[in-house]
């Protein structure tokens, strides 16, 4: 394995943080409607916790630098006072990283009381 592929292999297996996972999952669920405010609302609704714009945008930058997200400035809308949205799209690498995180959570949760109860309720 050369240095380049070794680097990308290492990047791919780095586990996401909890908030990074939430952000990627929210953006993925929103699809073409994923941008700063909509992702923030989605995370707040799902977790019941307020997320600050500072945390949101710095995490978006970090994930974009890792190649897990792609962002661009969208069109301005009247609802936003004529200001543009920062649109977000999850890349294939981002999907893979989120799936790895999810699988790891599921694996590590096997045997945990709350996971057993959840499984029982679901079935």
Partner 1 sequence: MSPFGWALVERSARLLQGDDQESVLGDLTEENQSAWRGLFEILNLFFRRQAFLWWNLKPWIAGFLVVLPSSYLLMYVSVSVSCTYARLVYHKLLLGKAYTGPEGYFLLLCHIFLLLAWSWVAGYVAASLSRRTAWVSVALAVATCSWYSPQTTWGDLSIPRILFFLFVPPALLGLWQGFRGVPVTRNVAALLAIAITLLMIIAWSRNALWSLNWLLIWPAWCLVTIAGKPSLVAAQTN
Comparison of 36 and 115: residue with beta carbon closer to partner 1: 36
Q: What is the CA radius of gyration of the chain?
A: 17
Gap between the Cα atoms of 18 and 13, Å rounded:
15
Q: Is residue 96 involved in binding partner 1 (CB under 8 A)? A: no
Q: Report the nearest approach of partner 1 to the CB of residue 73 (Å).
A: 6
* Binding-site member from 9, 70, 83, 99 for partner 1 (CB under 8 A): 83
Contact 34, 88 (CB under 8 A): yes
Rounded (10°) CA dihedral 39, 40, 41, 42: 50
Q: Is residue 73 involved in binding partner 1 (CB under 8 A)? A: yes
User: Which residues, in sequence order, are CB contacts of 101 under 8 Å at separation 6+?
Assistant: 15, 16, 21
* Binding-site member from 11, 37, 105, 119 for partner 1 (CB under 8 A): 37
Q: Which residues bind partner 1 (CB under 8 A)?
A: 35-37, 40-41, 52-55, 57-58, 61, 73, 76-77, 79-81, 83-86
């Amino acid at each position: 394995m050369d240095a380049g592929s070794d680097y990308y292999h290492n990047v791919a297996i780095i586990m996401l943080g909890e908030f990074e996972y939430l952000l990627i999952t929210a953006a993925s669920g929103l699809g073409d409607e994923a941008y700063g405010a909509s992702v923030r609302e989605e995370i707040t609704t799902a977790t019941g916790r307020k997320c600050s714009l500072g945390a949101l945008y710095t995490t978006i930058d970090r994930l974009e630098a890792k190649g897990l997200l792609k962002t661009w400035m969208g069109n301005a809308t009247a609802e936003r006072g004529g200001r543009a949205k920062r649109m977000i799209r999850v890349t294939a690498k981002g999907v893979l990283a989120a799936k790895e995180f999810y699988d790891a959570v599921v694996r590590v949760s096997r045997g945990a009381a709350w996971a057993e109860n959840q499984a029982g309720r679901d079935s």
